[in-house]
Amino acid sequence: MSTNTIQKPRDKHFTTILLAAQEEFATHGLKGARMQAIADRAGLPKANVHYYFQNKVSLYLAVLDNIIATWDDFFNDVSVNDDPATALDTFIREKVRLSFENPTASRLFANEILQGAPYLSDYMRETLRPWVNNRAKVIQQWIDAGKMTATEPVLLIFMIWATTQHYADFQVQVLGILNQKEYDASLIKQISDFTSQTILRGCGLEPPNTDATGN
């Protein structure tokens, strides 16, 4: 009973607080977030939050770590031999899906960057930059192999990020303009199709059939 009751999430409250903090930080940023508001979102007294996390910054770092750890990227395993249309289509659709599934994570990331990325500069230099350069190389190889129109691979990645994350970060604006209360399945489908088709055509690629495959 001593060794086999170890749980990775130290406590259910640990996770609860982490999620509550993610929402608060995503909305107001590090400086704007209030420990009391995080406690309220978690439905716990403020002192309880401090029991699990030493202070505001360490809680913020824990949230950032947690997000980056689950920051799946469906463009990792792509290589020259893959079909660029299929690979880019999958990448774009997965990014759109993530935006709707976990908008808070995207917003928190956006807030951190807006504030100058004070706590993510290491991650950007050591992880994100190499990742982008590596993926850009694959796109360049597709271009060199005549599989797609010449373009700027890194700017293409920026465009995919910007377009897909827009629906998470600017959700309030998008819904306000569309005069809708929330995203529904048909809108998400429409956005996925539009984004993939437009960007793929922009790269001189023929978008895969979307109706038959169902995605």
Among 65, 178, 184, 215, binds a second copy (CB under 8 A): 178
Which residues within the stretch 42-71 sit at the binding site for a second copy (CB under 8 A)? none
Q: Does 208 bind a second copy (CB under 8 A)?
A: no
Interaction partner, residue 70 (a second copy, DNA, none; CB < 5-8 Å by kind): none
Interaction partner, residue 44 (a second copy, DNA, none; CB < 5-8 Å by kind): DNA
The angle that helices 84-101 and 185-202 make with each other, rounded to 10 degrees, is 140
The angle that helices 12-32 and 56-69 make with each other, rounded to 10 degrees, is 110
Separation between Cα atoms, residue 137 and residue 149, nearest integer Å: 15
The tokens describing 20, both together, are 């509550």
DSSP state at residue 174: H
19 sits in which H/E element: helix 12-32
Separation between Cα atoms, residue 180 and residue 58, nearest integer Å: 37
Interaction partner, residue 13 (a second copy, DNA, none; CB < 5-8 Å by kind): DNA
* Residue whose entry in the numeric block shows the structure tokens 């505001």: 56
- The stretch among 41-49, 67-75, 88-96, 128-136 that binds a second copy (CB under 8 A) is 128-136
Among 114, 137, 145, 184, binds a second copy (CB under 8 A): 114
Separation between Cα atoms, residue 60 and residue 29, nearest integer Å: 9
Residues lying near a second copy in the complex (CB under 8 A) are found at 26-34, 107, 110-111, 113-117, 121, 124-125, 128-129, 132-133, 149, 151-152, 154-156, 158-159, 161-163, 165-167, 169-170, 172-174, 176-179, 190-191, 194-195, 197-204
